[in-house]
Every structure is written in structure tokens, then in C-alpha cells.
Chain A
Amino acid sequence: MSKVIKFNKESDLPPLVMSLGTTLVNKTGSWRYLRPVYQDKTAPCIEACPASEDIQQYMYLVAKGEFDKAWETLVAENPFPAVCGRVCYHPCELSCNRGEFDQPLAINAVERFIGDHGLERSLEPFKIAADRKEKVAIVGSGPAGLTCAYNLRRLGFKVVVLEKNEKPGGVLQFGIPEYRLPKDILAKEISRLEDFGIEIKTGVEIGKDVSWAALLKYDAVFLALGVHRSRAMDVPGEELDGVISGLEFLSQIARGEKVALGQNVAVIGGGNTAMDAVRTALRLGSKAKIYYRRTRAEMPAIRDEIEEAEREGIEMEFLVTPVRISGENGRVKEMTLQKMELGAPDESGRRRPVPVAGSEYTVTIDNVITAIGEMGDFNFIPEDMLEWGTVKTNHFGQTNIEHVFAGGDIIEQPHTVVHAIGSGKRTAMAIQAYLDHVDPETLVDKISVGFKGGFSFERFNDGQTGDPVDNHQVVHYEQINKNYFTEKPRNEADEQEISAGITTFREVKTTFDAQTVIGEALRCFNCGVCNMCDNCVIFCPDVAIKRREDDYRYEIDYDYCKGCGICVVECPRNALSLIPEGK
């Protein structure tokens, strides 16, 4: 071991400035007033994901070719990777730091690959807690209901899902068209959940087959009915034959029913239902056209859907609204539209369309499909539970009846699949907390991911890596050390040829192959999380950093770390922090 060597005469000294023993005797760590620590932080994509998927972690695993583990990471937060990999509007990509560097990561396409990989390999989720005696009823088998059921099951609860329709899946089954979400993919993801021990009873309607009172006898109830009624346009002639609600149209097609459309089909609206309806009508052989009261920029539909519709030759007419539908023999024949212009912004921040006087014109039409918004059908839900057409809940989905929770499209939140999944997960955690007499608010600090409302089930469940994590620090672009990255174009999934007059319901986009998905995952900055790049080890001038004995992550020898901070600066991804010593 090291000791101080005393040189008594010049010939004792080595011929050059060199230690004879080690310099371990000199504990340079005593000079330190700042301490570098490994501290995982939150990547902005994860914060942006309403389902709080640990995106950077599965990118890390995919980059190493560990697809099974990537799938496990994904389903730890979201039981529908193959579904979301197809239909999610992927706000993660908008937040991706790589977007400021060159192009955002193709997160959605990677998710799809992993989801499909899980289906191909028949991977199964694992339970994380022993069986519990409490039984929870879930009303509705859409993404919110099934996600809640899944997470409750993982926590050991008995779960029964009551579904009004003949098949489970809700909007996934009866709303989203086949060309975006093939039914066999959905069926596989749902049957995996059934295999996991979730009981789904279809054809069960509350208030008819099961009474509200009987429902309330469960230890907890989760209402996730979804919204299935298209909002009425309130224009004369809406009752005519040939005027169809968009949701009804889509569900008829999903059920394989024949829907007779004429040649000219007008679809009213600019949201996803409108896009789904117009593209479906196109595939049925009609000349379908969008009429929307604002401009393209204000359309609430997913951008990809709008672009694909345009490439399929769908015409869109903006700044118009129907004022009258007229018919012949009870059947629609013409539609009169009024031109609009954009006025002052409304409460949604979008500029409000206002009519232009004297601008009415009439088009000849065979069908009108209405898709200007959806409403819930709350016939069995007590009046005092409702507010502004939604079920009133606290932050955790709890209603005014303490063991009744609600989520998905019936509460006040954006109507997207991934928000539904997020609410199902959040509520599962809240239900356990309720049954354990724990105030869920006390969990918020531990389980929240960033500041956009997402909660991590892994953190709820303590399933952490064992490294200190600051889930409240989101890594932004400025905190990335760009010197370590080179520009690399984003990979795009192949598309089947999109053209006007398309008639196939085959999926538009393909799934990445393994090589492409790894290439794409390698583009990930892994913001805020150590990916074992060794930069800290290479740069530490005191050789005070080394890989841990289990070869996972690093340890700092604070006896010799001088606190220079070079490791922190040279970490490409801000996975280290410098904190004042003694605090």
C-alpha cells in the first residue's frame, strides 16, 4: 500500500519526476468542494408521453439489439405497444431533443417494431404482486379500461371488464380503420391481456344486464365507457337519409356491414374521425371530400393522417361550414355551405371561424358524414357525477363516489388513445392507493415524470435501476453535449404506394426491419440517462471513475475525485450532476 517515501540524497531519487510507490497516499478528494454524482434525469420524450413510456430506456435496449427487454420496458408502462406504434399521435417526437439537432427520432416506428416483436415472440407481461382479495369492475374495454385492468392485474387484483359491444377494444375495435390498425394486431394484444388473467365480459350493458347498484358492490369501479355519439351539426336536413354520423359509419365498416355510399361524399370536420371517415369512404370507391370550418393549420387530426389523406388525393375545402342540407324523397341531394373567415382566438387558442355574409353556395352531394366531435352517453351515470358533458373526477380519476373512478374520453382530457392509456394507468395506481388507504397525492412526487402530468408505473412499483433518479429534471437541448453527436437522417418506414383511388384497407405503413430499428435507436441521445459510453472514465484526470464490478454503470472514488467537473461537462447526455459538497 502507499506510504510516504523519504529521499535522503539525490541518488535515492528516480532519474525522472516519477513516483516510486503509488500516489494513493495523496487523497486529492479532500480538495473537492463540488461533487459529481450520477443522476438519471427525465428525457423530454418521456415527459411528453401521456403514457409515460420509458422511451430512452427502450431505445437504449433496442440499440443493443435486446428487443425482448425493450418490449418488457415498454409494457411496463403501456400494454398496447403494437397498437400505439400505429395509431399514436406521438407527441414524444415533437419534444425529441434530436429534433433541434437534425430530425427527431422515429419513436413511433420503433415502438411499433417492438410491439410487433412482442406479438411475434408471444412475449408475456409479468405480474408484480401477489393475488389480492379485492375485485374491481371496469366498464368499457377500450384503451383506458384495458390499461387499468392490466395494471390492476399486475398488482394482484381480480378484474372484470364489462363491455357493451360484442367485441372488446372500444375505439380501437370500432373506430380506427383497418388500414391504420389491423384487427388481428388488436386481437393479439387484447388476447394477451385475457391470458394474463383479465376477465372480459362482452355484451354486458350497465343499467340493463348489470344494475348500477350491483356495479357499486365491487370494491372499486372504473368507468371508461368512451364517447360514441357524434355531435349533431344542428342544421336543417340533418335527419335526411344519407346523412351519417362518422363514428357510426366507422363502426359499421369495422363490423363488416355494408354501407351504401353514393359517388359524392362530403365529410364534415377536421379531426381524426373525419380523416378516418373520408379515407374509408375513398376506399369504398366514393369521391370523398373534407369540408372544414377553419384552415389546415387548425385541423386537430394527426398530421400524418392529414398528409396521407392528401396523398391519397382527398380534396379538402377550408373555411366553410354547412348551413343546410336539402333532399329529394327524403334523401340527401344538396348541401349548402357558408364561407368563413378566422376571427379572434377562442378558448382553445385557435382563431374562431366567423361566417362571411352572403357567401353561401350549394354543392350536389350523395352522402354527408358528420365528424365534428363526439359526446358521451351517460344514461346510467348519476347526474351529480357529471359536469360539462364529462364525468367529474379529481386528478387521479376519482369521482364523487370514493370507490368509483373514471377515465379515458369521458373525463376532461384530450381524446387520444395514449391519453386514455395514461388515465387507465394512473387510475390503477389510484385504486390501489384507495384500497390501501393511502392518499395518492403523497405519491405524486415519487411517480410523476416531468411536469406534463405523466406518471410512471415502474416508479410506483419501485422497479428502479437502483440509481438515483431526478424525475423532475427534464433534460433540454442545451444540456446535451452536441460535440459527441453527428448528423444522421431519420429512418422512415416504407409505405405502400398511396395514390388517388386507393381501394385497399391494407396497412399504409410497414414495420421497420431489425437493422433499421437498431440504426434508428442508435440515433437516440439517451437524454439524461447513462448509456455506458465511458466518456467519464476516459476524461477523468484523476482516474477516479471506473465501471462497477457488475459492469453496470460507474462508481466514483471520492477519495481522489477533485470535483473538477470534467466528467459532468463531457457526459454527452447530462446523466451526471455537480452538487455542492456537504449539502
Chain B
Amino acid sequence: MKKVLMGNHAVSYGARLARVEVIAAYPITPQTQIVEELSELCANGELDAKFIKVESEHSAMASCMGSSAAGARAFTATSSQGLALMHELLHFASGSRLPIVLANVNRAMGPGWNIWTEQTDSLAQRDTGWLQFYCENNQEVLDTVIQSFKIAEQLALPVMMVLDAFILSHTYEIVDVPERELIDKFLPPYMPEFKMDVDDPHAFGALVTPDNYYEIRYKMQKSMEKAPQIVTQTGVEYGEIVGRSYDVLETYFCDDAELVLVAAGTLVSNSRAVVQEYRSKGIKLGLLKIRMFRPFPTEQVRKILLHIPKIAVIDRNISFGASGIFFQELKAALYGRDGVSEARIFGFIIGLGGRDVRLQDIAEIVDYALEEEKPKEDIIWMGLKR
């Protein structure tokens, strides 16, 4: 059924269709409406789940972990400082191999105190062992929540799905909400191989000495490496049942492109519009959307970009002392064991703290990259007031 939903409620509807069993969350702008809607669904009986009110994001994640370890499908949502407060337990959740799904609304880190969109909060958690998906629109938001559970449960790893503050979280779009029967067919109940069970007691998450810890980490990485294939397969299955397919990446006019833009989240939509415009003028511009950031789909990226002469990465984030984070990942991916890309890679930083990224801003990026033979500096600051 088609509904007009804000991004936050698209998350709530997705979680509801996924039949989450435990929700533990702490309010933070611009996430609050996600769990507010879920709490109402719990209260009015539309969702048979336990809603746990907690006193911090740290406790929210702890509650999700306990529930998940006991075999429940657990969900939480947060943003920015809230996500940062969870940091310790993000490691613990993935190390415990718990398929928790977390919705993070991308919001800039303070200070300066700022509630608008930026990718640094989630990207700063890239080494915590969580899968990460970045969504472009509210339809993808809803569909990604549902797929996230299936992916997480197959890999026994937690998934963070990300949407932009306000641009998606508070913006209403038409969203097709799939029929419950379809989602039930797509996503069976969670049946963990191991769970906390009083009839089969084991100790979970206990001390592991150097003698075994190394192997534990190895196994976790091996599961991560399986993720691209599982994500692709899950996206296909979702398409077969619901009618919309997803993959780790999405390409737009890349095959013959002389310049490919690389972006994630809502930056993709604007870039797509700019590509259309340039293509209509006969300029060979392409676009690569990074939907899955962790694990980074290196093989897939290389397949698409190895032959492209120029690449422009658009980062709404910054790793201080280095550069844009997608930019780093891209460069790392293109310097690989089966060959090195000879592309000129431009790293643009734009729209920090929620500053608007308009079509003409993207066009400026394109013009810059087309014009210059190679980047003049590692970070090209777009729209900086100088």
C-alpha cells in the first residue's frame, strides 16, 4: 500500500514489518520519531514487541544485546552523539555476533552543536564490525530495514542502516509499504543457532586468552567477507518477492564514463540529476552509488572503476588529519593486488553540518574534475567561505 511517510516513519514501518521483538532506545533528534512511532505501535497492540525505555544509548544497545542473545529480534535507532555513546557496545555486539539492526540518522557531531546531516557519526564507527548501508530515499529506507534483519541474521553480524537527517528523516515521500504476507515470506522468524538458553547453558562473551582471540577475529572477518554475496542475494530475493531489488552498489552511466561521481546517501539523488543533465549535453559522466560501506565492496568497485580515467568522490564527512572517508576507501580499493587504477581521483568535501548541497554545487564538482587534469590538493573544499 502506498503511503506518504517521513523517513523516520519509513524506518518504523520497516521495523514493524520485520516483526521486531525488542526495541530499546533513547530519544535523540533527529531520530526520536522512529522509536516514538514504534512505541505507539507497541502501545496500541499493532506491534507485539517489548519496548524497553532506557536511560542512555549505552543501555539501549546493552538491552538490545541481551535480548538478541536470548534469541529475540532486536532493534534500536540513534544519531550522532547517541551513536558515539554506544561505541563500546557496538564492538561488543559484533564481537558477540548478534544480528541487531540499528537505524542511524546521520547528524553532525558537536560541538558546535548541530542537528543537521553529516556522515561523520556513522563513518567514525566503521571499524566496529557492523555492516553499514546508506539510503538514498524513504523507499530505500523502509526496504533496507527489512533486508538488514535478513542479512544480519544470515551473517550473525549487526547492521547499521543510515539515513540523512531531515533530508530524509523529516521529509515526506510516497513510500510503498509492502503487504505483511510478502515480508513474512521474505523474512522468516529469527532462529539463532546459539542463544542464551537455561536448558543449554554456555558462557557468552567471556574472557578469551591470546591463545584463541586471534582466531575469533579471523572468523569474524571471514563472515564479513561473505557479506557482499549475501547482500546481493538478499537484494535479489527481496526484488523477487516485493518487486524492488537492491545491491551493494548501484551504477548510473558508468560503462563509458570519462568521469564517475562516487557518493552515498541523498548526495546520490542530486548527483543523478546532474549526470542526466550532462549526459543530455553529451558529456560522458557517470555515477557510482555506494549503498554498502561496510564491508567495503572492493571487488565490485574495482570491477566498475578500474578502467575509468577520472573519479570524483563526494564526501559529506571528514577524517581529520586525513581526508574524506569515502575518498580514502576508494583509493584503497583501487590500489589492489590484481592491478592499480590509473585514474585521477578527486576528493571533494561538501555540505558539512547540513549545509545545503544543491545541483549547481554538484555541477561545480563535475566542472572542476573535468577541467583539471589532476587534483591540486587532497581535499577540495566545496563552498567554503574564503
Binding site for B on A (CB under 8 A): 7, 9-10, 13-20, 22-23
> Is B202 a contact of A19 with CB atoms below 8 Å?
yes
> Is B95 a contact of A14 with CB atoms below 8 Å?
no
How many angstroms between the C-alpha atoms of A10 and B217 in the bound complex?
10
User: Do A16 and B215 form a contact, CB below 8 Å, given A22-B203, A23-B203, A23-B206?
Assistant: no
> Is A17 a contact of B156 with CB atoms below 8 Å?
no
User: Do A15 and B202 form a contact, CB below 8 Å, given A7-B212, A10-B215, A10-B218?
Assistant: no
Q: Which residues of A contact B234 (CB under 8 A)?
A: none
Q: Which residues of A contact B194 (CB under 8 A)?
A: 14-16, 18
How many angstroms between the C-alpha atoms of A31 and B218 in the bound complex?
31
Q: Which residues of A contact B202 (CB under 8 A)?
A: 18-20, 22
In the complex, whether B96 has a CB less than 8 A from a CB of chain A is yes
In the complex, whether B208 has a CB less than 8 A from a CB of chain A is yes
In the complex, whether B111 has a CB less than 8 A from a CB of chain A is no
> Is B219 a contact of A13 with CB atoms below 8 Å?
yes
How many angstroms between the C-alpha atoms of A23 and B205 in the bound complex?
12
Which chain B residue has the least Cβ–Cβ distance from A17?
A: B205
> Is B203 a contact of A13 with CB atoms below 8 Å?
no
User: Do A18 and B204 form a contact, CB below 8 Å, given A7-B212, A13-B212?
Assistant: yes
What count of chain B residues pass the 8 Å CB interface test?
20
If over half of B's interface residues share one DSSP class (helix, strand or loop), that class is named, otherwise mixed; here it is loop
Q: Which residues of A contact B96 (CB under 8 A)?
A: 16-17
Number of residue pairs A-B, CB distance < 8 angstroms: 46
> Is A15 a contact of B156 with CB atoms below 8 Å?
yes
Which chain B residue has the least Cβ–Cβ distance from A543?
A: B201
> Is A18 a contact of B156 with CB atoms below 8 Å?
no
Q: Which residues of B contact A22 (CB under 8 A)?
A: 201-203
Q: Which residues of A contact B205 (CB under 8 A)?
A: 17-18
Q: Which residues of B contact A20 (CB under 8 A)?
A: 202
Residue of A14, A18, A23 ringed by the most chain B CB atoms within 10 A? A18
How many angstroms between the C-alpha atoms of A13 and B209 in the bound complex?
13
Binding site for A on B (CB under 8 A): 95-97, 156, 193-194, 201-206, 208, 211-212, 215-216, 218-219, 223
A421 to chain B, nearest CB (A): 51
B306 to chain A, nearest CB (A): 32
A226 to chain B, nearest CB (A): 63
How many angstroms between the C-alpha atoms of A226 and B223 in the bound complex?
89
How many angstroms between the C-alpha atoms of A13 and B215 in the bound complex?
8
Residue of A14, A16, A20 ringed by the most chain B CB atoms within 10 A? A16
Beyond A16-B204, A22-B202, A23-B206, 9 additional pairs, beta carbon < 8 A: A7-B215, A9-B215, A10-B218, A13-B212, A15-B97, A17-B97, A19-B206, A22-B203, A23-B203
> Is A17 a contact of B193 with CB atoms below 8 Å?
no
B99 to chain A, nearest CB (A): 11
**Complex A-B, nearest 5 residue pairs according to Cβ-Cβ distance, in ascending order:** A16-B97, A10-B215, A19-B203, A23-B203, A19-B202
Q: Which residues of B contact A17 (CB under 8 A)?
A: 95-97, 204-206, 208, 216
How many angstroms between the C-alpha atoms of A15 and B212 in the bound complex?
12
How many angstroms between the C-alpha atoms of A23 and B156 in the bound complex?
23
B230 to chain A, nearest CB (A): 15
> Is A13 a contact of B204 with CB atoms below 8 Å?
no
Q: Which residues of A contact B95 (CB under 8 A)?
A: 17
Which chain A residue has the least Cβ–Cβ distance from B213?
A: A17
Instruction: Jot down 22 A-B pairs with beta carbons below 8 A, ordered by A.
Output: A7-B215, A9-B215, A10-B215, A10-B218, A13-B215, A13-B216, A14-B194, A15-B97, A15-B193, A15-B194, A15-B219, A16-B156, A17-B95, A17-B97, A17-B204, A17-B205, A18-B202, A18-B204, A18-B205, A19-B204, A19-B206, A23-B206
Q: Which residues of A contact B156 (CB under 8 A)?
A: 15-16
Residue of B95, B211, B212 ringed by the most chain A CB atoms within 10 A? B212
How many angstroms between the C-alpha atoms of A433 and B261 in the bound complex?
100
Q: Which residues of B contact A14 (CB under 8 A)?
A: 194
Which chain B residue has the least Cβ–Cβ distance from A14?
A: B194
How many angstroms between the C-alpha atoms of A17 and B205 in the bound complex?
5
Q: Which residues of A contact B215 (CB under 8 A)?
A: 7, 9-10, 13
Q: Which residues of A contact B201 (CB under 8 A)?
A: 22
A448 to chain B, nearest CB (A): 46
B42 to chain A, nearest CB (A): 25
How many angstroms between the C-alpha atoms of A10 and B202 in the bound complex?
19
A560 to chain B, nearest CB (A): 12
How many angstroms between the C-alpha atoms of A7 and B205 in the bound complex?
17
How many angstroms between the C-alpha atoms of A7 and B215 in the bound complex?
10
How many angstroms between the C-alpha atoms of A332 and B229 in the bound complex?
114
Which chain B residue has the least Cβ–Cβ distance from A6?
A: B211
> Is B219 a contact of A10 with CB atoms below 8 Å?
yes
Q: Which residues of A contact B203 (CB under 8 A)?
A: 18-19, 22-23
B92 to chain A, nearest CB (A): 10
Which chain B residue has the least Cβ–Cβ distance from A16?
A: B97
How many angstroms between the C-alpha atoms of A17 and B96 in the bound complex?
6
How many angstroms between the C-alpha atoms of A17 and B212 in the bound complex?
10
How many angstroms between the C-alpha atoms of A14 and B156 in the bound complex?
12
Q: Which residues of A contact B206 (CB under 8 A)?
A: 17, 19, 23
Q: Which residues of A contact B208 (CB under 8 A)?
A: 17
Which chain A residue has the least Cβ–Cβ distance from B208?
A: A17
Q: Which residues of B contact A19 (CB under 8 A)?
A: 202-204, 206
A548 to chain B, nearest CB (A): 20
How many angstroms between the C-alpha atoms of A23 and B207 in the bound complex?
10
Q: Which residues of B contact A13 (CB under 8 A)?
A: 212, 215-216, 219
Which chain A residue has the least Cβ–Cβ distance from B92?
A: A17
A574 to chain B, nearest CB (A): 26
Which chain B residue has the least Cβ–Cβ distance from A21?
A: B202
B80 to chain A, nearest CB (A): 29
How many angstroms between the C-alpha atoms of A23 and B96 in the bound complex?
17
How many angstroms between the C-alpha atoms of A23 and B201 in the bound complex?
10
Q: Which residues of B contact A18 (CB under 8 A)?
A: 194, 202-205
How many angstroms between the C-alpha atoms of A476 and B202 in the bound complex?
41
How many angstroms between the C-alpha atoms of A381 and B206 in the bound complex?
78
Which chain A residue has the least Cβ–Cβ distance from B205?
A: A17
How many angstroms between the C-alpha atoms of A358 and B10 in the bound complex?
93
B95 to chain A, nearest CB (A): 6
How many angstroms between the C-alpha atoms of A20 and B194 in the bound complex?
11
How many angstroms between the C-alpha atoms of A13 and B218 in the bound complex?
11
How many angstroms between the C-alpha atoms of A13 and B222 in the bound complex?
13
B203 to chain A, nearest CB (A): 4
How many angstroms between the C-alpha atoms of A20 and B95 in the bound complex?
17
How many angstroms between the C-alpha atoms of A22 and B202 in the bound complex?
6
